[in-house]
Structure 1
Amino acid sequence: MKKRILPIIGLASIMMLLAGCTEMNEPITAESEGFWNSYIVYPLSLLIIWMAEHLGHSYGWGLIVTTLIIRTAILPLMIKQVKSSKAMQAIQPEMKALQEKYSSKDQATQRQLQQETMALFQKYNVNPLAGCLPILVQMPILIGVYHAISRTEQIANDSFLWFDLGSPDPFFILPIVAGITTFIQQKISMVGMNTNPQMQAQMTMMLYIMPIMIMIFAFNFPAALSLYWVVGNIYGIVQTYFIKGPELKKAAAENAGGAKKK
């Protein structure tokens, strides 16, 4: 149960950090000090402004294009994550056999299990941490975008479509779309994944809880952050479709076949 709630706790912690940072009232400028301001927030602010200046002075479009650039830059990590997930699935039978062989809970047996498991990873050149890389990279960027939006006056005060970038969506449209696209992205990412029942239960729980949490937080955060999340999700859906195209088509054919039999 603890393993299942860790991702939720992690997301909640990130959102609390977004909401409670002590520098939120300080405008971001070239004079802002510190690694975080100088190398993450200010460059993101400049990039959004630069894009806006070349897109009819629309900071909304500037943010959209910036989001696409960021997601394209981390695309190799996303591809690596998919490959890592497939590799982990391929060695699941051998991992299960090891767990059964070293089922005793004493310290010596568990140490042997860890050694055998690491040897198995090395044998098949599997990095169990590779799947975490995209989220580890995206979280600082997400927080940086939030700061860039909130601490750059011209971005925060600009309007795009029906909402002000620096204020929550008054009609809650973006938060709802953010939740829906989060669900879709997670759903198609799960296609073709053959996991053990415990992991499957955890993934199913996150499939439904994550979109709800995203919507709840998005109700209170600047609409621009929801826009960033929605665009990133749509990019991720398209990306996953092309990376996992054959698996998605196979799953669709199986579902269609099952429906005809009924």
Structure 2
Amino acid sequence: MERNILFITLKKYQLLILLLLSLFLLGGCGNNFTPIDSSSTGFFDHYFVYPFSLLIKKVAFWFQGNYGIAIVLITISIRFVLMPFLIRQSRSSKESQDKMAILRPEIDLIQEKYKGKKSTEDQLSMQRELSDLYKKHDFNPVKMATGCLPLIIQTPFLIGFYYAIRRTPEIAEQSFLWFNLGETDILFVVLAAIIYYIQARVGLIGLEEIQRKQMAIMGLISPIMIGVISLNVPAALPLYWAVGGLFMIVQTLIIKKYVY
């Protein structure tokens, strides 16, 4: 039963897990914002950051040195590549939720039957009954945990692009729209935070009340985090986050309409 609880817990807090993983990777990379080049050492720099830096420069070259357009286009391209994985995750999650809704009354009966019984024998008996119930309905709790794998898989690519923007010095010398890419822009900081707040609210559409309450805290944490970080970084980073956030809003609406 402990394993089943672990799977359900992983599924329930997958966004929080992704947030913590992102912070861990960002912290693990340290504050190394020195320009990236072919001589930079380290697995992450060599296979993620440097290739993205080269790609940014190449796309900017195609658009007469416009690094703002390069960041926008690459951000959208990355999201398009990741989109099928997230759609598959959403479909799998929906199927698991539907089956869990059917099983919930029987699960509650089994748990109520063993309520207050803490002996090893009773716990093993409850686990066997739950396992038999899952087999009867062809339900695999493991799928509820693996649903967060696409979120974890995308993290190195998104963070690699983040560091490529930070460590490509040519970007800081350029302007885009009304702001300098190398300086903090308060208006764009606010815009990025608002976009992430809207994204979080869109993500709540169609969820049950219990799920909405569980996800509500993330709806506050993510825009606050984006806003605070954006106050201390060049405007190129909020641009990246804002474009990604807008894409995720559209993607979420599409998924909820055609997948859910």
Same fold (TM over 0.5): yes
Letter in 2 for 1:83: R
Does 2:213 match 1:201?
Answer: yes
Alignment correspondent of 1:175: 189
Structure 1 residues 200 and 158: alpha-carbon distance in aligned structure 2, compared to 1, 3 A threshold: same
Letter in 1 for 2:43: F
- Cα deviation for residue 67 of structure 1 reads 0.4
Mark the runs of 5 or more structure 1 residues left unpaired by the alignment: 249-262
Structure 1 residues 125 and 205: alpha-carbon distance in aligned structure 2, compared to 1, 3 A threshold: closer
Does 2:81 match 1:73?
Answer: yes
2:15 and 2:248 map into 1 onto residues whose CA distance is 19
Indicate the RMSD between aligned Cα atoms, in angstroms: 3.1
1:189 and 1:175 map into 2 onto residues whose CA distance is 21
**Mean alpha-carbon deviation: is it higher for 126-135 or for 62-71?**
126-135
Instruction: Percent identity, please.
Output: 36
- Cα deviation for residue 231 of structure 1 reads 0.6
What are the within-5 Å matches in structure 2 for residues 29-68 of structure 1? 29-68=37-76
8 Å Cα contact 2:33-2:167 kept in structure 1: yes
Does 2:239 match 1:227?
Answer: yes
1:206 and 1:89 map into 2 onto residues whose CA distance is 20
2:225 and 2:62 map into 1 onto residues whose CA distance is 35
- Cα deviation for residue 108 of structure 1 reads 1.8
Structure 1 residues 179 and 122: alpha-carbon distance in aligned structure 2, compared to 1, 3 A threshold: farther
Alignment correspondent of 1:185: 199
2:30 and 2:140 map into 1 onto residues whose CA distance is 46
Structure 1 residues 246 and 8: alpha-carbon distance in aligned structure 2, compared to 1, 3 A threshold: closer
Deviations 1:124-172, CA, capped at 9 Å, x for gaps:
7982134323421332223212211121211233222233323332xx2
- Cα deviation for residue 226 of structure 1 reads 1.2
What are the within-5 Å matches in structure 2 for residues 1-150 of structure 1? 7-8=15-16, 11=19, 14-15=22-23, 17-18=25-26, 21-22=29-30, 24-103=32-111, 104=114, 106=118, 107-109=123-125, 111-112=127-128, 115-116=131-132, 119=135, 122-123=138-139, 127-150=143-166
Letter in 2 for 1:139: T
**Mean alpha-carbon deviation: is it higher for 144-153 or for 128-137?**
128-137
Structure 1 residues 85 and 193: alpha-carbon distance in aligned structure 2, compared to 1, 3 A threshold: farther
8 Å Cα contact 1:52-1:61 kept in structure 2: yes
Deviations 1:33-66, CA, capped at 9 Å, x for gaps:
2221111001111111111011121111101000
1:125 and 1:109 map into 2 onto residues whose CA distance is 18
Residue aligned with 2:143, SS: coil
- Cα deviation for residue 76 of structure 1 reads 0.5
Letter in 2 for 1:142: L
- Cα deviation for residue 73 of structure 1 reads 0.5
Q: How many residues align?
A: 242
Residue aligned with 1:191, SS: coil
8 Å Cα contact 1:191-1:247 kept in structure 2: no
1:26 and 1:128 map into 2 onto residues whose CA distance is 40
Mark the runs of 5 or more structure 2 residues left unpaired by the alignment: 1-8
Higher relative contact order (CA 8 A, sep 6+): 2
Letter in 2 for 1:80: R
Structure 1 residues 94 and 149: alpha-carbon distance in aligned structure 2, compared to 1, 3 A threshold: same
2:58 and 2:173 map into 1 onto residues whose CA distance is 16
8 Å Cα contact 1:180-1:211 kept in structure 2: yes
Letter in 2 for 1:65: L
1:138 and 1:5 map into 2 onto residues whose CA distance is 17
Letter in 1 for 2:65: H
Structure 1 residues 33 and 247: alpha-carbon distance in aligned structure 2, compared to 1, 3 A threshold: closer
8 Å Cα contact 2:36-2:49 kept in structure 1: yes
Structure 1 residues 152 and 110: alpha-carbon distance in aligned structure 2, compared to 1, 3 A threshold: farther
Structure 1 residues 98 and 223: alpha-carbon distance in aligned structure 2, compared to 1, 3 A threshold: farther
